[in-house]
Amino acid sequence: MTNVAPRTLTVLAPIRPGEEEPLRAVLRTVGDDVEGKRLEPGTVRPGIEFRHSRHIHFARLVVLDDPDRGRDRKRLLYSANYDGEFDEHLAELIAITTDPDAIWGRLDGYTGPAAFAAFIRARTVEPEAFYIAFRDETVERLHDAIDFRRRAQTVVDEASSASLVDLVPRLSSGAPAADQPLPWIVAAAARWFRALPIVADVIRAVARCGIGNVFHGTLRIITSLTRYPLFRWVNRLTRNRLPPRRSPYSSVTLDHCTVPAPLVPGDEVPSGPDRQIPPTFREDVIAQNQLTLVTVVMPGQAGRVRAVMAAIDSYAKRLSPPGSLIGISTIHFVKWFVIDNGRRLMMVSDYDGSWESYIDEFAEMILSGLDAIWETSYGYPPDGAADLPAFKRFLRSHQVPAEIFFSAYPEETVLNIVNDRAFARACAGGAGDHIRGQLQHG
């Protein structure tokens, strides 16, 4: 397999009338035990056995409202980040689906496994913005780094009281020294080469969204990013500032634990007006969490939203260092979609830690970026993300729990992976030979 960035596939497919609850039942059976730990040996259950995948990083299936097709209609969201080619992913996906009719057969237009690829292609939606924490890592390579660190830690624990933190400097002596110029020159050249397409990104964004949307959308994003000298200089030059708060008090009501409802006329909740987050909602179960949001974009604002997405996508692809998006080091993958002919905005995120800490970190690190993304959606707080309680209510009101959420490395945070990669590379030189020898014979 070629060493390319992980790819993404997101599908929105209408569910056949009357099949909504049977489909939920199948999905929840898998979602309640996605690793298959409670299955009896030899048991086959209908659904998708993601635990058998070798190339999927994260995946989810979510039942969403489908308001454009009717009040009671639903649609299935399938979203995955995977290694390899599109056709290879579809072949693996159908191979790990034990009963295709139990899931795909409940969707409009599905005619069988032979036409599965055509069915998926016709219902695929492409992201407007896509961030990948580790663009050069496959599931296999990440597992190798994680496993190497765990085995090395076991060796160290058995041999002495030393830690891997103490061990890395000694192993690093066999790797290129930090003061040797060639690695730094190569790394700098790679960064510049990766950043060069930004010019083409800007031209495409202007052609698609208009220069006004691109200019104002970009300024809106960087308003609060004054910790970066370039953005601070641009903000001063253009007099770009955060607007003053309209009120020192939060606009959120005291009773915000009731069933979510549309916040303003024109707003929607993405799983029906009588929907409640079920008690089985899988959040904070493992080191990682999932977030799926669907908001309604105000009429005439789709161009502005797409311009903001273009800026985020360009930064994520061209400038973001491994494991960090504008200083946020808890996101594995995040992508945004403008769907339904520009009427709705959907966000799909795989992240570390609790929901509360994730939103707090976003609000602290990229406050104006949150406003730029969602201020064109119905129900956004008057004071934006600066009114954090109201912002959190806005997100919860538009969040949809996943019926299935799968991670190939569920106990690993982004920071864990950063450290595992650094340790594995430090041990790749000659000084790591004695550790590798102990691991092989341990």
| Alpha-carbon gap, residue 268 to 339, rounded angstroms | 14
Residues 369, 239 within the same domain: yes
Q: Which two tokens stand for residue 371?
A: 């406003």
User: What is the SS3 assignment for 303?
Assistant: helix
Asked if residues 420 and 149 have their Cβ atoms less than 8 Å apart, the reply is yes
CATH number at residue 70: 3.30.70
Element containing residue 90 per DSSP (H, E)? helix 86-95
The answer to whether residue 131 sits within a structural domain is: no
The candidate with the shortest Cα–Cα distance to 45, out of 31, 55, 58, is 31
| Segments of the chain with pLDDT less than 70 | 1-3, 155-190, 253-259, 272-285, 428-442
Residue span of the structural domain in which 264 resides:
193-402
**Contact indicator for 439, 152 with CB cutoff of 8 Å:** yes
Q: Is 145 a domain residue?
A: no
* Residue where a domain terminates, one of 125, 152, 167: 125
> Are 216 and 316 within one domain?
yes
Q: Which neighbouring-strand residues pair with 10?
A: 79
Per-residue pLDDT tens over the stretch 322-337:
999 999 999 999 999 9
Residue 417 lies in a domain: no
Chain segment 387-427, per-residue pLDDT in tens: 999 999 999 989 998 999 999 999 999 999 998 888 877 77
Structural domain contains residue 143: no
Let me know if residue 343 belongs to a domain.
Answer: yes
Same domain for 251 and 379, yes or no, is: yes
Q: What pLDDT does 68 receive?
A: 92
Q: Domain for residue 275, yes or no? A: yes
Residues 239 and 353 in one domain: yes
Q: What is the CATH number of the domain that holds 237?
A: 3.30.70.100
Q: What is the pLDDT of residue 255?
A: 56
Do 199 and 335 have their domain in common? yes
> Would you list the DSSP string of 374-439?
HTTBTT--TTGGGSHHHHHHHHHHTB---SEEEESSTT--HHHHHHHHHHHHHTTSGGGHHHHHHH
What pLDDT, on the 0 to 100 scale, is given for residue 1?
Answer: 47
* 369 touches 218 (CB < 8 A): no
Q: How many domains does the chain have?
A: 2
Longest Cα–Cα distance of the chain, Å, equals 67
pLDDT tens-digit readout, 199-227: 898 999 999 999 999 999 999 999 999 99
Q: What is the pTM of this model?
A: 0.87
- Continuous segment of H or E residues that includes residue 339: strand 331-339
Indicate whether 255 belongs to any domain: yes
Structure confidence by residue, pLDDT tens digits, 46-60: 889 999 999 999 999
Domain identity same for 302 and 203? yes
